[in-house]
Amino acid sequence: MKGFDNTPPASPWGINFGGGLNSTAMIIECRRRNLRPDWILFADTGSERPETIEHVRRMQQWCEGWQNIHIVRWKRTKGDILGFEPLHENCLRTNHLPSKAYGLAGCTSKWKIQPMEKWRKANGFDEGAFAVGYDADEHRRIKSACERGDDPNFIAWYPLVAWHIGRQECETICTSQGMTVIKSSCFMCPNMKRQEWMQLKNTHPKLFDIAVKIEENAAAHGNKGRDELGLYNGMGLRNIEQYSTGDLFEASETVEDRCHHGGCFT
Protein backbone atom coordinates (compact mmCIF):
# COMPACT_ATOMS: atom_id res chain seq x y z
CA MET A 1 0.00 0.00 0.00
CA LYS A 2 1.54 3.28 -1.17
CA GLY A 3 1.09 5.28 2.02
CA PHE A 4 3.07 2.63 3.87
CA ASP A 5 5.97 2.10 1.45
CA ASN A 6 9.51 2.30 2.81
CA THR A 7 10.36 5.14 0.45
CA PRO A 8 8.31 8.13 -0.76
CA PRO A 9 5.43 6.84 -2.90
CA ALA A 10 5.58 9.73 -5.41
CA SER A 11 7.76 12.59 -6.52
CA PRO A 12 7.97 15.43 -5.69
CA TRP A 13 7.36 14.85 -2.03
CA GLY A 14 7.60 16.86 1.15
CA ILE A 15 7.09 16.82 4.88
CA ASN A 16 4.27 18.34 6.90
CA PHE A 17 6.21 19.26 10.02
CA GLY A 18 4.03 19.62 13.11
CA GLY A 19 6.76 20.80 15.47
CA GLY A 20 6.26 17.82 17.79
CA LEU A 21 8.12 14.64 18.67
CA ASN A 22 6.90 12.42 15.83
CA SER A 23 7.50 14.74 12.92
CA THR A 24 10.86 15.77 14.38
CA ALA A 25 11.88 12.10 14.53
CA MET A 26 10.57 11.65 10.98
CA ILE A 27 12.77 14.48 9.66
CA ILE A 28 15.85 13.17 11.48
CA GLU A 29 15.22 9.66 10.19
CA CYS A 30 14.62 10.83 6.60
CA ARG A 31 17.96 12.59 6.67
CA ARG A 32 19.71 9.57 8.13
CA ARG A 33 18.23 7.43 5.34
CA ASN A 34 19.24 9.92 2.63
CA LEU A 35 15.65 10.69 1.74
CA ARG A 36 15.70 14.39 0.99
CA PRO A 37 12.26 15.99 0.68
CA ASP A 38 11.50 18.66 -1.90
CA TRP A 39 9.92 20.82 0.78
CA ILE A 40 9.27 20.93 4.52
CA LEU A 41 6.44 23.09 5.85
CA PHE A 42 5.42 24.16 9.32
CA ALA A 43 2.04 25.92 9.58
CA ASP A 44 2.03 28.46 12.42
CA THR A 45 -1.44 29.14 13.82
CA GLY A 46 -0.14 32.09 15.85
CA SER A 47 -1.29 30.17 18.92
CA GLU A 48 1.58 27.71 19.24
CA ARG A 49 3.32 27.34 22.58
CA PRO A 50 6.58 29.35 22.79
CA GLU A 51 8.55 26.09 23.18
CA THR A 52 7.17 24.81 19.88
CA ILE A 53 8.22 27.95 18.01
CA GLU A 54 11.66 27.72 19.65
CA HIS A 55 11.92 24.08 18.57
CA VAL A 56 10.89 24.90 15.00
CA ARG A 57 13.68 27.51 14.87
CA ARG A 58 16.12 24.92 16.22
CA MET A 59 15.01 22.44 13.57
CA GLN A 60 15.44 25.08 10.88
CA GLN A 61 19.07 25.33 11.94
CA TRP A 62 19.43 21.55 12.14
CA CYS A 63 18.12 21.25 8.56
CA GLU A 64 20.37 23.98 7.15
CA GLY A 65 22.33 22.74 4.16
CA TRP A 66 19.91 19.87 3.63
CA GLN A 67 16.42 21.33 3.16
CA ASN A 68 14.78 24.53 4.43
CA ILE A 69 11.81 24.45 6.77
CA HIS A 70 9.32 27.06 5.57
CA ILE A 71 6.92 28.59 8.07
CA VAL A 72 3.52 29.34 6.55
CA ARG A 73 0.45 31.14 7.90
CA TRP A 74 -3.15 31.41 6.81
CA LYS A 75 -3.88 34.93 5.57
CA ARG A 76 -7.36 36.25 4.90
CA THR A 77 -7.91 38.04 1.65
CA LYS A 78 -11.60 38.88 2.19
CA GLY A 79 -13.76 40.21 5.02
CA ASP A 80 -13.24 42.70 7.84
CA ILE A 81 -9.96 41.23 9.00
CA LEU A 82 -7.31 40.99 6.32
CA GLY A 83 -3.98 39.22 6.61
CA PHE A 84 -2.95 36.89 9.41
CA GLU A 85 -5.05 36.54 12.54
CA PRO A 86 -3.82 34.12 15.24
CA LEU A 87 -6.35 31.42 16.01
CA HIS A 88 -6.83 32.44 19.65
CA GLU A 89 -7.51 36.04 18.63
CA ASN A 90 -10.04 34.81 16.11
CA CYS A 91 -11.78 32.82 18.87
CA LEU A 92 -12.01 35.91 21.07
CA ARG A 93 -13.22 38.12 18.23
CA THR A 94 -15.91 35.71 17.05
CA ASN A 95 -16.94 34.51 20.56
CA HIS A 96 -16.28 30.88 19.65
CA LEU A 97 -14.01 28.03 20.64
CA PRO A 98 -11.62 26.48 18.09
CA SER A 99 -13.86 24.52 15.73
CA LYS A 100 -12.46 21.19 16.97
CA ALA A 101 -14.57 21.80 20.10
CA TYR A 102 -17.69 21.58 17.93
CA GLY A 103 -16.57 18.35 16.28
CA LEU A 104 -15.42 20.20 13.17
CA ALA A 105 -12.01 20.57 11.58
CA GLY A 106 -12.12 24.20 10.45
CA CYS A 107 -9.20 25.29 12.62
CA THR A 108 -6.89 22.59 11.26
CA SER A 109 -8.15 23.13 7.77
CA LYS A 110 -7.77 26.92 7.72
CA TRP A 111 -4.76 27.52 9.94
CA LYS A 112 -2.80 24.35 9.11
CA ILE A 113 -3.77 22.68 5.83
CA GLN A 114 -4.73 25.64 3.64
CA PRO A 115 -1.51 27.66 4.07
CA MET A 116 0.50 24.52 3.27
CA GLU A 117 -1.55 23.93 0.15
CA LYS A 118 -1.18 27.53 -0.90
CA TRP A 119 2.59 27.43 -0.48
CA ARG A 120 2.82 24.20 -2.50
CA LYS A 121 0.76 25.64 -5.34
CA ALA A 122 2.75 28.88 -5.36
CA ASN A 123 5.96 26.88 -5.56
CA GLY A 124 4.91 24.53 -8.33
CA PHE A 125 4.19 21.46 -6.20
CA ASP A 126 0.72 20.60 -7.49
CA GLU A 127 0.96 16.87 -6.95
CA GLY A 128 3.12 14.20 -5.39
CA ALA A 129 3.25 12.99 -1.80
CA PHE A 130 3.57 14.40 1.70
CA ALA A 131 4.89 12.63 4.76
CA VAL A 132 2.86 12.73 7.98
CA GLY A 133 4.37 11.91 11.37
CA TYR A 134 1.91 9.38 12.73
CA ASP A 135 3.91 6.70 14.48
CA ALA A 136 3.62 2.94 14.38
CA ASP A 137 1.69 2.88 17.69
CA GLU A 138 -1.13 5.10 16.45
CA HIS A 139 -3.38 2.47 14.89
CA ARG A 140 -6.59 4.36 15.46
CA ARG A 141 -5.36 7.63 14.03
CA ILE A 142 -3.91 5.94 10.97
CA LYS A 143 -7.12 4.01 10.36
CA SER A 144 -9.26 7.14 10.44
CA ALA A 145 -6.77 9.02 8.23
CA CYS A 146 -6.97 6.22 5.66
CA GLU A 147 -10.75 6.18 5.81
CA ARG A 148 -10.85 9.92 5.21
CA GLY A 149 -8.71 9.56 2.10
CA ASP A 150 -5.96 11.79 0.75
CA ASP A 151 -5.85 15.08 -0.98
CA PRO A 152 -6.82 14.12 -4.58
CA ASN A 153 -3.44 15.27 -5.92
CA PHE A 154 -1.25 14.01 -3.09
CA ILE A 155 -0.55 10.66 -1.52
CA ALA A 156 -0.22 10.80 2.28
CA TRP A 157 2.85 8.80 3.27
CA TYR A 158 3.35 7.43 6.80
CA PRO A 159 7.09 6.64 6.96
CA LEU A 160 7.24 6.05 10.72
CA VAL A 161 4.62 3.33 10.32
CA ALA A 162 6.47 1.86 7.33
CA TRP A 163 9.69 1.80 9.35
CA HIS A 164 7.97 0.36 12.47
CA ILE A 165 8.96 3.37 14.56
CA GLY A 166 6.73 3.87 17.60
CA ARG A 167 6.54 6.65 20.16
CA GLN A 168 9.41 5.33 22.29
CA GLU A 169 11.72 5.06 19.28
CA CYS A 170 10.76 8.63 18.30
CA GLU A 171 11.97 9.75 21.73
CA THR A 172 15.23 7.88 21.26
CA ILE A 173 15.79 9.37 17.79
CA CYS A 174 15.20 12.94 19.05
CA THR A 175 17.34 12.42 22.13
CA SER A 176 20.17 11.14 19.94
CA GLN A 177 20.29 14.64 18.42
CA GLY A 178 20.07 16.32 21.82
CA MET A 179 16.46 17.36 21.35
CA THR A 180 13.73 17.40 23.95
CA VAL A 181 10.43 17.97 22.19
CA ILE A 182 7.13 18.86 23.82
CA LYS A 183 3.74 17.92 22.42
CA SER A 184 2.82 20.44 19.77
CA SER A 185 -0.62 21.98 19.54
CA CYS A 186 -2.27 25.33 19.96
CA PHE A 187 -2.08 26.35 23.62
CA MET A 188 -5.89 26.39 23.81
CA CYS A 189 -6.63 23.23 21.81
CA PRO A 190 -9.83 21.45 22.91
CA ASN A 191 -8.04 18.13 22.44
CA MET A 192 -5.68 18.72 25.34
CA LYS A 193 -5.73 16.43 28.34
CA ARG A 194 -5.92 17.54 31.96
CA GLN A 195 -2.20 17.03 32.43
CA GLU A 196 -1.50 19.31 29.44
CA TRP A 197 -3.83 22.01 30.78
CA MET A 198 -2.16 21.81 34.18
CA GLN A 199 1.25 22.10 32.58
CA LEU A 200 0.11 25.16 30.62
CA LYS A 201 -1.25 26.73 33.78
CA ASN A 202 2.02 26.20 35.61
CA THR A 203 4.42 27.15 32.84
CA HIS A 204 2.46 29.78 30.90
CA PRO A 205 -0.16 31.27 33.22
CA LYS A 206 -0.89 34.14 30.82
CA LEU A 207 -1.69 31.75 27.99
CA PHE A 208 -3.83 29.69 30.36
CA ASP A 209 -5.75 32.84 31.29
CA ILE A 210 -6.38 33.53 27.60
CA ALA A 211 -7.75 29.99 27.22
CA VAL A 212 -10.06 30.55 30.22
CA LYS A 213 -11.21 33.81 28.64
CA ILE A 214 -11.91 32.10 25.31
CA GLU A 215 -13.94 29.39 27.05
CA GLU A 216 -15.95 31.75 29.23
CA ASN A 217 -16.51 34.22 26.41
CA ALA A 218 -17.83 31.48 24.11
CA ALA A 219 -20.13 30.18 26.87
CA ALA A 220 -21.47 33.67 27.55
CA HIS A 221 -22.44 33.89 23.88
CA GLY A 222 -24.13 30.49 23.82
CA ASN A 223 -21.26 28.78 21.93
CA LYS A 224 -20.16 26.16 24.47
CA GLY A 225 -19.08 23.39 22.15
CA ARG A 226 -20.07 19.79 21.51
CA ASP A 227 -21.86 18.18 24.45
CA GLU A 228 -21.43 21.46 26.36
CA LEU A 229 -17.83 20.49 26.96
CA GLY A 230 -16.14 23.85 26.44
CA LEU A 231 -12.38 23.59 26.02
CA TYR A 232 -12.06 20.73 28.48
CA ASN A 233 -14.83 18.89 30.27
CA GLY A 234 -17.63 21.38 30.62
CA MET A 235 -16.93 22.26 34.25
CA GLY A 236 -14.76 25.20 33.34
CA LEU A 237 -11.01 25.42 32.84
CA ARG A 238 -10.87 27.96 35.64
CA ASN A 239 -11.61 25.12 38.07
CA ILE A 240 -9.31 22.54 36.52
CA GLU A 241 -7.36 21.91 39.70
CA GLN A 242 -10.50 20.52 41.32
CA TYR A 243 -10.95 17.71 38.80
CA SER A 244 -9.51 14.34 39.58
CA THR A 245 -7.01 12.81 37.20
CA GLY A 246 -8.29 10.15 34.85
CA ASP A 247 -11.78 11.62 34.68
CA LEU A 248 -14.27 10.49 32.08
CA PHE A 249 -13.16 12.91 29.44
CA GLU A 250 -9.63 11.53 29.43
CA ALA A 251 -10.95 8.25 28.13
CA SER A 252 -13.18 9.74 25.46
CA GLU A 253 -12.64 9.31 21.75
CA THR A 254 -12.18 13.03 21.22
CA VAL A 255 -8.75 12.89 22.78
CA GLU A 256 -7.65 10.15 20.39
CA ASP A 257 -9.03 11.75 17.25
CA ARG A 258 -6.33 14.33 16.81
CA CYS A 259 -5.71 16.45 13.76
CA HIS A 260 -4.86 14.95 10.43
CA HIS A 261 -2.48 15.80 7.61
CA GLY A 262 -1.98 19.42 8.67
CA GLY A 263 0.46 18.60 11.37
CA CYS A 264 -1.35 19.36 14.66
CA PHE A 265 -0.05 16.99 17.34
CA THR A 266 2.72 15.43 15.25
The binding site for ligand SF4 (CB under 6 A) comprises: 45, 87, 98, 100, 107-108, 111-112, 185-186, 189, 191, 259, 264
CA 58, 61, 63 angle in degrees (round to 5)? 110
| 184: Cβ contacts below 8 Å, ≥ 6 apart | 18, 19, 20, 48, 49, 52, 55, 263, 264, 265, 266
Nearer to ligand SF4, 15 or 30 (CB): 15
Q: How far is the CB of 186 from ligand SF4 (least distance, A)?
A: 3
Nearer to ligand SF4, 22 or 45 (CB): 45
Please give the single-letter amino acid code of residue 260.
Answer: H
Nearer to ligand SF4, 22 or 108 (CB): 108
Q: How many Å apart are CA 6 and CA 35, to the nearest integer?
A: 10
Q: How far is the CB of 147 from ligand SF4 (least distance, A)?
A: 18
Strand partners, 43: 72
Q: How far is the CB of 5 from ligand SF4 (least distance, A)?
A: 27
Nearer to ligand SF4, 14 or 262 (CB): 262
Q: How many Å apart are CA 37 and CA 154, to the nearest integer?
A: 14
Nearer to ligand SF4, 112 or 141 (CB): 112
Q: How far is the CB of 81 from ligand SF4 (least distance, A)?
A: 18
Q: How many Å apart are CA 236 and CA 215, to the nearest integer?
A: 8
Q: How far is the CB of 217 from ligand SF4 (least distance, A)?
A: 16
